[in-house]
A = this chain, B = another copy of it.
């Protein structure tokens, strides 16, 4: 029951691929089939295709035309010496040249007068001008575009031999999984949604394969082995998801080893380490990791090139651009790490801001604009030192992106939606690094604007003293977004009866904090100081989250009893809320950004009735100063 396997010998990506691909019997796996040309778009020719007919198949008039004539002005009787004919139509029998109607002074007359010279076969598309019967229309190994389809039909080729799309069976494993078709209601207690198979099926199609998702197999070696045996008999490729890591119930290794051979178990990549590559009855079997980001990245390295090669496609590598990491990214040497980043051009540089690195965070892929690869030979990437990123969005998307870093507020999501609705070329990319983090980002040229709600007790104002301290040299405008309600988020019904900031020091109350530099953290420390309370007395003071919603999620799930945050976040998760103080949330807008047309559009959105209505619906926002320039620094 407890047969555990630490990865036997972890391989590098290239080595793993070589070990795997060099053992495949490519020729027997790749097959071809004859299909109608009408259904061949996107398929790859398996042999050269030769024209059955010439194209055009008959002589055709090549311009809007009207009769034939020698060089000197001459009269031609209509219907006998000259016959009207339209572009693309057949040449009348006996005619061997065409003159354009524009060159006939009066085309309605009879006889017509023609003045332009013409030589034999002028303005005639002769038989075979484009394609001669017996000529090659398409070579072997090319993808059939819509116009290639047209050329094939023009040449009378109605059936074409193409590479077969390999069938790829995907086997989800795990007794706790609820299949995607059954996710419409509530999730049963203790069950998890299965969605990796949907992701993998989409990726299989995009690589050129035909996916077939099988029912979830429970975690036991016998079931998986049996299922794998059947799958291998009916597919060119089998993907088991998951069950390739080192836990006691990871039976992929056992199943593949029992039926065939494990070639690779564990790849030096992150995410994606628990990848297994094997062979069963000559068929490639991939044990794909269970975390969704790992599943995708492992697929891209091993399954995608395999499926593409079998289907005859060549994968187009993603575009790469030079980017500047917004922070140091230490990484374990010996392992290739793929970091998901958001990207935005600020001034001359494209800034790459890392998203959460956890392999379970599927949203880190959804939100990513690019992928940074930290090579196995490296100990990480350095802040601001340029590296190449693979683009997950189009280069145009980057040019339309405004980067806002700093404090998190729920209305930023609203702004992003409304901005895109106003101009689909524009995107608002927000990174949550806390208010002070946002000011630092502006100072270093890593963001277009920053969200900030830094309270200064001495002057009893927001943001301005901090701007004077940290961005003294920068001409900028401070534009209000909203006043919002800060307070304690507690479980519904407030079971621990948390009413004041002092209640946080009670021994049975577990707190969840925001990170250093966050405006909310600064507010908490200020409130504690006013009350004369010691942070060390608060259980959980050292546990940090980066957003209001993450704090709320901790309270919601019971890992904490209280957290400081905004009403909108508490309301979004159905938590109770104990209001403590209103605070001003502003956007810090450097002059360079202020005069940027993209920001001007954003500013219009901020001052629109649509934004006011949507923010009001979130709760806890007072928009009396919304959009106003509250302060300027020249």
Contacts and interface: CB of A to CB of B under 8 A. Distances in A.
Interface of A: 2, 4, 6, 37-38, 41, 48, 53-60, 62, 64, 84, 86-90, 96, 101-102, 107-108, 120-121, 125-141, 145-151, 153-154, 156, 158-159, 174, 176, 180-181, 183-184, 187, 190, 192-193, 195-196, 198-203, 205-206, 242, 245-250, 290-292, 296, 314, 316-317, 319, 356, 358, 360-366, 394, 396, 413, 416-417, 420-421, 424, 543, 549-550, 552-554, 556-557, 559, 572-573
A296 B573 contact: no
A165 to B, nearest CB: 16
B89 A187 contact: no
Among A41, A140, A202, A356: residue with most chain B CB under 10 A? A202
A202 B130 contact: no
A553 B126 contact: yes
Among A90, A150, A202, A417: residue with most chain B CB under 10 A? A150
Contacts of A291: 88
Nearest to A246: B64
A184 B196 contact: no
B147 A89 contact: no
Contacts of A48: 413, 417
A365 B148 CA distance: 8
A572 B363 contact: no
B158 A183 contact: yes
How many copies of this chain are found per oligomer? 2
A62 B356 CA distance: 15
Contacts of A190: 58, 90
Given A128-B553, A572-B135, A250 B86 contact: yes
Contact of A54 (B57, B140, B553): B553
Contact of A193 (B141, B156, B206, B247): B156
A132 B572 contact: yes
Given A6-B102, A88-B174, A156-B193, 13 more contacts: A38-B180, A53-B193, A62-B358, A89-B249, A127-B557, A128-B556, A128-B557, A132-B549, A140-B420, A141-B420, A141-B421, A149-B198, A314-B424
Contacts of A317: 394, 396
Nearest to A133: B573
B153 A296 contact: no
Nearest to A65: B247
Contacts of A557: 54, 59, 126-128
Contacts of A176: 89-90
A105 to B, nearest CB: 13
A248 B84 contact: yes
Given A147-B362, A195-B153, A132 B102 contact: no
Contacts of A133: 556, 572-573
A203 B174 CA distance: 42
Given A129-B553, A413-B136, A366 B145 contact: yes
22 contacts: A54-B557, A55-B362, A64-B246, A84-B248, A86-B248, A86-B249, A88-B290, A120-B543, A121-B559, A126-B559, A127-B559, A128-B550, A129-B360, A130-B358, A130-B362, A130-B363, A136-B413, A147-B199, A147-B365, A150-B196, A154-B193, A158-B183
A170 to B, nearest CB: 12
A57 B573 CA distance: 13
Contacts of A242: 88
Contacts of A366: 137-138, 145, 147-148, 151
Contacts of A107: 2, 4
B150 A362 contact: yes
A139 to B, nearest CB: 5
Sorted from nearest, which 4 A-B pairs have the closest CB atoms?
Answer: A146-B202, A128-B553, A127-B557, A86-B247
Contact of A358 (B84, B125, B146, B250): B125
A58 B131 CA distance: 64
A195 B159 CA distance: 14
Contacts of A137: 363, 366
Contacts of A139: 413, 416-417, 420
A242 B132 CA distance: 24
B64 A150 contact: no
Nearest to A204: B146
Given A292-B147, A316-B394, A154 B416 contact: no
A518 B129 CA distance: 19
A429 B486 CA distance: 68
Given A57-B192, A292-B150, A319-B319, A314 B394 contact: yes
A417 B573 contact: no
Contacts of A249: 86, 89
Given A125-B358, A195-B153, A158 B134 contact: no
B195 A130 contact: no
Nearest to A174: B88
Given A140-B421, A361-B130, A550-B132, A183 B203 contact: no
Contacts of A550: 128-129, 132
Among A64, A200, A205, A296: residue with most chain B CB under 10 A? A64
Among A4, A151, A242: residue with most chain B CB under 10 A? A151
A316 B391 CA distance: 13
Contact of A127 (B132, B140, B361, B556): B556
Nearest to A96: B559
Contacts of A141: 420-421, 424
A385 to B, nearest CB: 26
A550 B176 CA distance: 68
A474 B563 CA distance: 79
A154 to B, nearest CB: 5
